Amino acid sequence: MADILAAQNGNWHDTSTWTGGVIPTTGDDVYANAFTINIDSDASASNVWNWAGAGATIKGGFILNEGVSLYSDYKAYNYVSSAPLITHSASSGVSRIIGETRGAYQATSLSKTGTGEVQITGSVYGAYQYGGTAISMAAGTLNILGNIESGTGNSSYTGYPLYLTGGTTNVYGDVNGNNTNITSYVYMINTAKLYVYGNVTSGATNTYTIRLLNSNAFCFVSGSVSNAVNGYTCIFADDSYTPEVIVHGNIANSNTGVQAIYSRNLFYKNTGPISSSVATYDIDSSIVASPRTMFTSDANADSPSTANVRSGIAYGNASSLTGTLIVPSASNVSSGVVFDNGTVGTAEASGEDLLNAISSSSDALAVRLRTVSTVETTGGQLSSLL
């Protein structure tokens, strides 16, 4: 393994870009050395840095191009410059980072501003020292195949594993809170959309795991949401906002008096009963005066579909759903037919109704009935022949 330092701005695979003319490869520690390196095709390294190790100068960074894969772990170590370690601005294609992502020292490890897609195969960690952001996401699609772990650094600073301002982020692992006093959580504003296909848990500290600070933000959790015994709220939407939060798994409060989710606009769907340890869920006190019992521990959490509830009837938590089923009146149901919980139909067909139906229908039987011979029509035919 070698330390490779950039000598000038340029492409990764150009020998003139690197001190000594050696192109980095698997096992090398690569330093931007205050220059900007364009990752022009698939590249490998042990780590990429923009700090002052191995005699390098702090600052600089790397550009991840469209369709390129970087096989490397990486973290920003840059408290001097606000420039990110890796930038992705491609408008299409899929770029990949085969490794884990860490934020550190008041810097951003990956800044994604392009509408293309970035896939990260490893886990993403918040800052381990002096704040910083692992990934800043503004547009396009970000797919993370590993877990999201909150930071474990200095409590005087704020560090985010994910800072989401737009686009769609899919996390296929779990999102976990931290066990230190650092303020570190997934931060969501503007139109950011987050889909978590694993579980969300809090750490044993007084900080959130996911925080939503805009009514246009959106959070979906396929798995469970649970806070630790001494933990804090897992998903928190500030009082000024009403972002949509959807949870399909169990919600469990392990810390007395602390909600697993705090949101004015929660939609909860579960295929089985809620954990017996949690029979209530707290909704913001400005909406209801006291905690609302959503379901008892032996109740199925599913509500009927709107198509099975009478039109105009509001139901569900906080009357958030409205039925669409149209039920006919008794005068539109045949006489004697029982419907709608015991109502009996009163409609009867008259001879005039039958004639009107035959005269306007294209049904084969109706056509034959319209042309069938009668005494009147047969007499008229005979009279015309005499």
Helix (H, G, I), strand (E, B) or coil at 138: coil
What gap in Å lies between CA 289 and CA 238, rounded to an integer?
Answer: 18
Q: Are residues 298 and 338 in the same domain?
A: no
> Considering only 57-71, 73-87, 102-116, which range has the smallest mean pLDDT?
73-87
Q: Are residues 310 and 359 in the same domain?
A: no
Q: Are residues 70 and 124 in the same domain?
A: yes
Residue 133 included in any domain:
yes
Per-residue burial over 348-371, b if 16 or more Cβ lie within 10 Å, else e, is: eeeeeeeeeeeeeeeeeeeeeeee
Residue 327 included in any domain:
no
What gap in Å lies between CA 132 and CA 351, rounded to an integer?
Answer: 83
Residue 322 reports pLDDT greater than 50 = yes
Last residue of a domain, one of 322, 340, 368: 322
Please identify which residue in the block is written with the tokens 């999102």.
175
The whole-model pTM stands at: 0.70
**Ranges 191-200, 271-280, 320-329, 376-385, most confident:** 191-200
Per-residue burial over 194-215, b if 16 or more Cβ lie within 10 Å, else e, is: bbbebbbbbbebebbbbbbbbe
According to the model, what pLDDT value does residue 293 have?
A: 46
Q: Are residues 50 and 158 in the same domain?
A: yes
What's the whole-number average pLDDT of the chain?
A: 81
Please identify which residue in the block is written with the tokens 């008259």.
350
Q: Are residues 346 and 309 in the same domain?
A: no
Q: Are residues 65 and 160 in the same domain?
A: yes
297 — pLDDT class (breaks 50, 70, 90)? very low
Q: Which pair of tokens denotes residue 199? A: 């579980």
What gap in Å lies between CA 17 and CA 39, rounded to an integer?
Answer: 11
Measured CA to CA in angstroms, residue 270 lies from 15, 61, 248, 251, 302 at distances of 57, 45, 5, 9, 6
What gap in Å lies between CA 266 and CA 69, rounded to an integer?
Answer: 38
Please identify which residue in the block is written with the tokens 């035959």.
358
- Residue 278: burial class (beta carbons within 10 Å; 0-12, 13-18, 19+): middle
According to the model, what pLDDT value does residue 272 have?
A: 40
Q: Are residues 40 and 121 in the same domain?
A: yes
β-pair type (132-137, 159-164): parallel
Residue 285 reports pLDDT greater than 50 = no
Higher pLDDT pick, 369 / 43 = 43
Whether residue 170 contacts residue 198, with contact meaning beta carbons closer than 8 Å, is answered with no
Give the pLDDT mean for 326-355: 87
What gap in Å lies between CA 21 and CA 2, rounded to an integer?
Answer: 13
Q: Total structural domains in the chain?
A: 2
Q: Are residues 340 and 318 in the same domain?
A: no
Last residue of a domain, one of 299, 322, 345: 322
217 — pLDDT class (breaks 50, 70, 90)? very high
Residue 286 included in any domain:
yes
Whether residue 20 contacts residue 46, with contact meaning beta carbons closer than 8 Å, is answered with no
> Considering only 102-111, 221-230, 235-244, which range has the smallest mean pLDDT?
102-111
- 19-46 pLDDT, tens digit each: 999 999 999 999 999 999 999 999 999 9
Q: Are residues 268 and 377 in the same domain?
A: no
According to the model, what pLDDT value does residue 150 have?
A: 81
Whether residue 235 contacts residue 245, with contact meaning beta carbons closer than 8 Å, is answered with yes
Residue 277 reports pLDDT greater than 50 = no
Residue 250 included in any domain:
yes
CB atoms within 10 A of CB 383: 8
H helices present in the chain, as ranges: 351-360, 364-371, 375-385
What gap in Å lies between CA 123 and CA 100, rounded to an integer?
Answer: 5
- Amino acid found at 129: Q
Q: List beta partners, residue 43.
A: 70
Angle 231-182-219 (CA atoms, 0-180°, nearest 5)? Answer: 60
**Ranges 99-103, 132-136, 158-162, 209-213, most confident:** 209-213
Q: Are residues 126 and 50 in the same domain?
A: yes
Range of the domain at 361: 332-385
Higher pLDDT pick, 84 / 23 = 23
Q: Are residues 65 and 94 in the same domain?
A: yes
According to the model, what pLDDT value does residue 213 have?
A: 94
- 118-164 pLDDT, tens digit each: 999 999 988 665 667 889 999 999 999 999 988 765 555 667 889 99
Q: Are residues 41 and 106 in the same domain?
A: yes
What gap in Å lies between CA 159 and CA 106, rounded to an integer?
Answer: 8
Q: Nearest Cα to 196, choosing from 209, 180, 214, 184?
A: 209
What gap in Å lies between CA 54 and CA 5, rounded to an integer?
Answer: 8
